[in-house]
Structure 1
């Protein structure tokens, strides 16, 4: 074992193995196979991550170098951004430094840069990082800043692991280590099909998040069964609810993907339209991890996909002991990103950040459980299935132990 990162079987190479073997993941990141939770630190599948900063930003922070290793790694965060964005960035910076401290003798030097939460800042600090010889860049956080970094890094053959949840900014050499809505959709539809649900209805918001979820849902539900009703709502939630309610007699599962307050409002609109939601299996995404959802009588027994809870709880305890405060939910992304590059730099030699290494089909396991990068830059995560109950979420199916090759 090598501190908080350890190798299975001491093998020097990442590899794919069968799904029944404990060594299915090439690397184990974080403490021994910790998972994560959607609760305790806030929702995790928010539409495209933190909102753009509001109000005047603070002064741009000076670059910071942490560690003395030979492998230089850039970390780009909106440290001077206003509001919640700056708070999230500081928590992610702390988590990144925590990962370095918990990994024994990492051969990396982390160059922390402040992009201010905007594309111009991202372009500036990316140029600085490339000039300083970084081999890989972690960040930025905002979708609007990722292309600015990606364009410059790609021209130099430097890979990027960004934290945006907008899959449209992923691409060749630009990987997203984030909680993508698509993962929630695929997991919950697959699980519902495994318990015999084949006819699906859906009610989604008419916004950017809803568009992403729509594409994933139609693909997943079309593969597992059929869609008998589908509506999107903007201002007229009641009208869309009435249309779906009229078709629920031929559906055995109803999928609603929105934040907690909106999910409750949508469920209430369906009930007002005459739908008996107790006669149908309700399905949702990680945004259902919300006290309003657990308190809703009509959503009791609903199922949604989310990481397992144990990893984030343990991570939060270590973070709290070190920094005297609770981490934001996205802090684990920065931790896992730094832990990943530290492990790869130690174990993979000159191929440490090659596309073949980063897209190893066996994937990796970190604070938030199993994950792997796809060749298109998006990711796949191993998620649990949770049931809504008045006292909080109850796990009904654990995350997978491994990925198939």
Structure 2
């Protein structure tokens, strides 16, 4: 059961094996603000000032015997509603491409609120759902998880905030931890031993900090400079610039605009960025980064982009529009439960099955759930060029011991 997300070709001959990047609501093959930061800990959907749309009615898709709840903010305002609709389309596309799936999707609109998520989850459970997919936002996951845990039902949520994961609540998303682990592992393998880091003073930066320090420690490396910045980027840049002479690599973990600004601040502080290996996370998959002369040759971890290209081409053919970046999460979640419904018995969605150490193969490459509900992804290492991200190390074909 190492690869249950590799169904047989559909009647049209399409297979669903491939990989992805980290962007939401952006032009497909370019990218803009990363999923990691965009969805991690919003208290309201994307902070939109737009009015939400009308509540969408519950919908059942498919005729299989295994019922699966799908909780999405379909009527939420702004980009949240757009993302949810694209994820709903991708979920239906997974059903269509998976040959004879024995599942029925019970799609519920949570409007982007904890109360809506709780109501939608309750409805799905009352209708016999054996597993819940969603919600999307971190703030909604605990409200829904109260109900699933009480019923002994597993949940696969889409939040990137690992603090909401836990017993019976698994996150199928892009976690900053995977990016950091992969890029530190790779740079260590090519001889880097001393690291510096400049991170934002926010929730994303806090997660990256913890992962970075642990990853460097596991590789017996040393951190020669570490600073976090808020409004005073120049001061933090000066402090790190003075220590770069004893560092092999510098991690800049922020979105495109901020990373470009920090590179400029380091240069202004006297740092020669050509003498050090620059490192980033999946948030670097951004046109601003690729256009920056200072960041050329920088390395970052991300899914191999070929899978998203294949997926988005099939999506455009089916729906006449481009998918948002998070759509693959819904596709992979539905394909996973369809595969488990076919291959497993009565305990098909149990923790023992979902935390199979061999993991699963999805659009975005390999992933596996940890017992604590977080996930690990098999990521590629990409190099920044003026033409975009170029792979320098491929995604792993299997997880190690």
1:68 matched to 2:52 = no
Q: 2:29 aligned to 21, 40, 46, which one?
A: 40
Residue matched to 1:164:
159
* 8 Å contact from structure 2 (residues 304, 365) kept in 1: yes
* 8 Å contact from structure 1 (residues 95, 319) kept in 2: yes
Q: Which runs of 5+ in 2 are unaligned?
A: 8-13, 23-27, 40-44
Alignment TM-score, normalising by the size of structure 1: 0.92
Displacement of 1:28: 2.5
Separation of aligned partners in 2, 1:389 and 1:340: 35
Residue matched to 1:20:
none
Residue matched to 2:103:
108
Separation of aligned partners in 2, 1:378 and 1:177: 8
* 8 Å contact from structure 1 (residues 75, 113) kept in 2: yes
Q: Secondary structure at the match of 2:228?
A: strand
Matches within 5 A, 1:117-266: 117-224=112-219, 225-266=221-262
* 8 Å contact from structure 1 (residues 76, 125) kept in 2: yes
Q: Secondary structure at the match of 1:28?
A: coil
Displacement of 1:44: 4.1
* 8 Å contact from structure 2 (residues 16, 97) kept in 1: no
Q: Secondary structure at the match of 2:36?
A: coil
Separation of aligned partners in 2, 1:185 and 1:100: 33
Separation of aligned partners in 1, 2:187 and 2:252: 14
Residue matched to 2:42:
none
Residue matched to 1:8:
none
Separation of aligned partners in 1, 2:47 and 2:343: 37
Per the alignment, do residues 52 and 151 of structure 1 end up closer, same or farther by CA in structure 2, a change over 3 Å counting? farther
Deviating above 6 A after TM superposition, structure 1's stretches of 4 or more consecutive aligned residues are: none
Q: Which runs of 5+ in 1 are unaligned?
A: 1-13, 15-23
Separation of aligned partners in 2, 1:53 and 1:131: 32
Alignment TM-score, normalising by the size of structure 2: 0.93
* 8 Å contact from structure 1 (residues 48, 166) kept in 2: no
Q: Secondary structure at the match of 1:47?
A: helix
* 8 Å contact from structure 2 (residues 279, 300) kept in 1: yes
Separation of aligned partners in 2, 1:204 and 1:359: 31
Residue matched to 1:85:
80
Displacement of 1:295: 1.1
Separation of aligned partners in 2, 1:351 and 1:393: 41
* 8 Å contact from structure 1 (residues 160, 175) kept in 2: yes
